[in-house]
Copies of this chain bind each other. A is one copy, B any other.
């Protein structure tokens, strides 16, 4: 589909901000997608050879909180029309990670040369969507206020295993006053496709977090004395699991540089 056809597909002659973002990334722009095309769903990417795709698909089905599937490609097809007009998964993400045997071997801005007829792309919901819902209700994201990445932690919560895919759940943490934490549970419960309700709150050590000030990924944030840490399942989990599975070949997005889709965050609410 041409760009113009894609614009017409949306019912206007204007290009959606989400499509515009993908076109920029297609040309080679490589920057964080945080704050890009507000209101549109962003997604985590995991691409695997067909040989591993069904086990990974089942892993996602078994672990819907860290791995909520919002779209996937046909085998060998780099397009996912359900997620966006003119979307090409090989070029439309700002930066990729190419994995071989569990190690990142390259971080290119497109994966044209790596694409194969046996690859399957999975797009998983991302916390940007529920953060927008929380902020729309007046809750503040500490990591955004402090201009850092959200703190993420490996936990002792075991994901349900599928084939080579297994390992602990990774969670992201946002501190809130208790009444805000209750409101945050209510709001994010409406969004199961983007991690949904928290998996834990209150006592970090109960889920194996030894030092809340030392996240395994991202940056630490301040937790005030009248706040409690609230933990959501995190889209870093599949990358952690792909790393541990040491599959011969996989491709993911580079953390924070997500796929911008044409879906609207508000449409992800189930009630």
Contacts and interface: CB of A to CB of B under 8 A. Distances in A.
Contacts of A203: 178, 226, 228
Nearest to A189: B186
A182 interface: yes
A39 to B, nearest CB: 25
Interface string A182-205: 100110010000000111111100
Contacts of A200: 178-179, 182
A229 to B, nearest CB: 10
Main secondary structure of the interface of A (DSSP, over half): mixed
Contacts of A5: none
B189 A201 contact: no
Contacts of A186: 185-186, 189, 197
How extensive is the interface on chain A, given as a class? 10 to 19
B185 A202 contact: no
A177 B207 CA distance: 11
Interface of A: 177-179, 181-182, 185-186, 189, 197-203, 206, 226, 228, 271
Given A182-B200, A201-B228, 14 more contacts: A177-B206, A178-B203, A179-B200, A181-B201, A182-B197, A182-B198, A182-B199, A185-B185, A189-B189, A201-B201, A202-B228, A203-B226, A203-B228, A271-B271
